Amino acid sequence: MVERYWEALKGVKDPEIPVLNIVEMGMVLSVEAEGERVRVRFRPTFSGCPALRLIRQEMEKALREAGAQEVEVVEAKTPWSTEDMTQEAKAKLLGYGVAPPMPLSMAEANPPCPRCGSLQVELKNPFGATLCKMLFQCAACGEVFEAFKTV
């Protein structure tokens, strides 16, 4: 039964990175079901994320469509980290043209260019089009690209 709700949550996309769902982002901590009552613990990625309200609505909708009558979404306070993203999610980001987050131990290092793989990249701005990304330019191929912040 719980499996079904997990599957439903995999249908909820991060509206700012629509190739990823919230489960592979590592945002869902637990799903408990008692009959048709479902309780989800999840944690937001960035504290100022404007998509939060939408994500909560989408979660509730998905769970109801999967058969839940009562849905409770609890926001956990433990900090989210890019370490919680699955390898598949990171690969999807790369395919999407966004440099995936680096391992936490290498948080200070620049990511390789997602287009040509060169390490000759330059930080243009620690902020990008969304809170979770920053802006780089590759010196080798000229590509201006976004990188997911390592947090």
Partner 1 sequence: MLDPYLKEALVARLTAWADDEVVLAQRLSEWVGHAPILEEDIAIANLAQDELGHAKVWLELRQELDGSDPDHLVFFRDPLEYQNAVLVELPKGDWAFTMVRQYLFDAYENLWLKEATKSAYLPLAEAAGRILKEEKFHLSHSSLWLERLGQGTEESHRRAQEALDTLFPYVRQLFQLLPTDEALVEVGVLPDLRALEAPYLEEVGARLERVGLRPPQGGYVPKSRQEHTEYLWSLLAEMQSVARWDPEAKAW
Please give the backbone phi and psi of residue 130, each rounded to the nearest 5 degrees, phi first.
-135, 165
Closest to 90 (Cα-Cα) out of 105, 101, 76, 77 = 101
Binding of partner 1 at residue 54 (CB under 8 A)?
A: no
Binding of partner 1 at residue 77 (CB under 8 A)?
A: yes
Chain mean position to CA 119: 24
Among 73, 131, 140, 141, binds partner 1 (CB under 8 A): 131
Q: Which stretch binds partner 1 (CB under 8 A): 43-51, 64-72, 95-103, 109-117?
A: 43-51
According to DSSP, residue 101 is labeled P
Among 57, 69, 118, 125, binds partner 1 (CB under 8 A): 125
Which residue in the block uniquely carries the two structure tokens 């009959």?
35
Q: Which stretch binds partner 1 (CB under 8 A): 3-11, 22-30, 32-40, 73-81?
A: 73-81
